[in-house]
Structure 1
Amino acid sequence: MKKTLAGLKPGQSGVVDGLTAAGAVKRHFLDMGITKGVRITVERIAPFGDPIAVRLRGYSLSLRRDEAAKIELEG
């Protein structure tokens, strides 16, 4: 099983290996700069686990946990 962004804890980071999303969701990820080889760091997770605040390419972004599960990481 591949490691995904949803499995990281605050302060942990990973490098994007691929996206399992398709269609409009995949396009949305690409538009936000989530592409293969980009390092993403989890900054915060909301008290009930959704959403997740991440940092990549010098900016912060919030993702739902189900979206984060579609972002596969290396390793």
Structure 2
Amino acid sequence: MTVYDLKIGQKGTIHNIDGDERLAKRLLALGCINNTEIEIKKIAPLGDPIIVNFRGLNLALRKSDAKNIYLKDNEVV
């Protein structure tokens, strides 16, 4: 399951970030690391971007980037 699969208000725990190396470095610099809880705050009407919250930071992610952030199984609330 990825961040893209979550609905507004749902939370998950980050397991891994794949894909673009620049994306991974940017998220790691912001504190978005393994075992960090992430919550979906808003989704734009056409589904792009997605506003997520982790460690008190709201961040807009593209749909394609959200599909590369994998969550731990059975950790979705």
Q: Same fold (TM over 0.5)?
A: yes
**Aligned-pair identity (%):** 34
Other-structure match for 1:4: 2
- Which ranges in structure 2 are unaligned for 5 or more consecutive residues? none
Tell me which stretches of 4 or more aligned residues in structure 1 moved more than 6 Å.
Answer: none
Listed as ranges, the gaps of 5+ residues in structure 1 are none
Which residue in 2 is equivalent to 1:45? 43
Q: Secondary structure at the residue paired with 2:22?
A: helix
Matches of 2:20 and 2:63, distance apart in 1: 16
Q: CA RMSD in A?
A: 0.9
Aligned residues: 73
SS in structure 1 at match of 2:40: strand
Alpha-carbon distance in 1 for matches of 2:50, 2:21: 22
